């Protein structure tokens, strides 16, 4: 994408107000915090700009085993306890270092409501305690477990999608490729502003500072998850390096125009399209990274929820 000389001029008035309020609060940049401090700060701030969560008929905590003997927790939400419900396996954002199903509860419940599907939100293991490729392996282990156990949970194993935001979008891209290789039929891979490249692209410089997610913050998160810098060139972490992406699940990408990662999302959409994958790309003008969790203040957030849900309903064969 081409970017203007004064990128702040792109911001919507509402987005500018949110950024000004965050700046006035005077909180230290996340890159100045320890990982534990960052986790606590992120958890404390989550949901502040979200609408009230939808009420769910199903609100269950599940336990999912991993290949190395760990037990992951996951939250299963559904508004109506119907049999054979389609399901979205969701990977939360947070730079592989912060975040949880709780920080993304309102978002997941809203998607479950709008798409009339179940959402299973995975509490995958985080850095720095668990470095690459732990989160990636946890994501795929959870998908394999879900395929096996969907019927007993009242879920339809023939109508499954995966999705996530930011780091969770990266996990979605990698897991969709692993699913293809394992013969798992996913109906959709749904990604909000994923990281896809081993190196920063032009948008990382354009929106380097003052747009919520900053270039230094990206490097901070990546250093926690990838203490070996060479791992940034592992195709699992950087799906743009996967030469053959043909046959992966159809993709829906929702990107923020004023985001250091926007060029990576556009490049990955182009990479998928070039190999015959069906791609629906939406770029929400004048908003920043993490905008989908600002539905109380940013109208584009609710629009993105509606667009993503429409893509899920279509993929699941439901009427829009």
**What are the structure tokens assigned to 108, written together?**
């997941």
Sign of CA dihedral 279, 285, 289, 294: negative
Residue 161 falls in which region: left (phi positive, over 0), alpha (psi -120 to 50) or beta? beta
- Catalytic residue from among 123, 138, 141, 259: 259
The SS3 of residue 195 is: coil
Instruction: Answer yes or no: 166 catalytic.
Output: yes
Q: Which residues, 6+ apart, have CB-to-CB distance to 6 below 8 Å? A: none
- Catalytic residue from among 100, 121, 166, 238: 166
Query: How many Cα atoms within 13 Å fall on the side-chain side of residue 186?
Result: 32
The SS3 of residue 320 is: coil
Q: Under a CB-based contact definition with an 8 Å cutoff, are residues 97 and 127 in contact?
A: yes
- Strand locations in the chain (E): 58-65, 71-78, 85-91, 118-122, 155-165, 188-192, 251-258, 279-288
Instruction: Answer yes or no: 156 catalytic.
Output: no
The C-alpha atoms of residue 144 and residue 156 are separated, in whole angstroms, by: 14
What pairs with residue 280 in β-bridges? 252
> Burial, 307: exposed, middle or buried (Cβ in 10 Å; 0-12, 13-18, 19+)?
middle
Sign of CA dihedral 226, 147, 306, 276: positive
Locate tokens 């702040």: which residue? 8
Active site residues: 166, 259, 289
């Amino acid at each position: 994408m081409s970017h203007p000389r004064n990128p702040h001029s792109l911001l919507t008035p509402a987005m500018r107000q949110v950024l000004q309020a965050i700046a006035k609060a005077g909180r230290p940049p996340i890159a100045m915090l320890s990982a534990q401090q960052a986790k606590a700060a992120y958890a404390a701030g989550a949901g502040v700009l979200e609408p009230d969560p939808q009420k769910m008929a199903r609100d269950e905590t599940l336990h999912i085993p991993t290949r190395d003997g760990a037990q992951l927790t996951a939250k299963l939400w559904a508004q109506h306890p119907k049999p054979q419900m389609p399901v979205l396996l969701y990977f939360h954002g947070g730079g592989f270092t912060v975040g949880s199903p709780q920080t993304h509860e309102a978002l997941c419940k809203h998607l479950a409501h709008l798409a009339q599907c179940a959402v299973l939100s995975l509490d995958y293991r985080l850095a720095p305690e668990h470095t690459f490729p732990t989160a990636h392996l946890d994501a795929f282990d959870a998908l394999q477990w879900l395929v096996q156990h969907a019927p007993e949970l009242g879920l339809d194993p023939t109508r499954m999608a995966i999705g996530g935001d930011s780091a969770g979008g990266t996990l979605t891209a990698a897991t969709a490729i692993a699913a293809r290789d394992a013969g798992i039929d996913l109906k959709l891979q749904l990604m909000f502003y994923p990281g896809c490249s081993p190196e920063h692209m032009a948008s990382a410089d354009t929106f380097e500072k003052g747009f919520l997610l900053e270039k230094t913050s990206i490097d901070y998160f990546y250093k926690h998850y990838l203490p070996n810098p060479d791992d940034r060139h592992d195709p699992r972490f950087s799906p743009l390096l996967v030469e053959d992406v043909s046959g992966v699940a159809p993709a829906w990408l929702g990107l923020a125009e004023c985001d250091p990662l926007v060029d990576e999302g556009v490049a990955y959409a182009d990479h998928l399209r070039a190999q015959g994958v069906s791609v629906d790309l939406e770029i929400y003008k004048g908003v920043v990274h993490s905008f989908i969790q600002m539905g109380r203040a940013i109208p584009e957030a609710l629009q993105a929820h509606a667009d993503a849900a429409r893509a899920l309903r279509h993929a699941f064969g439901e009427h829009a």
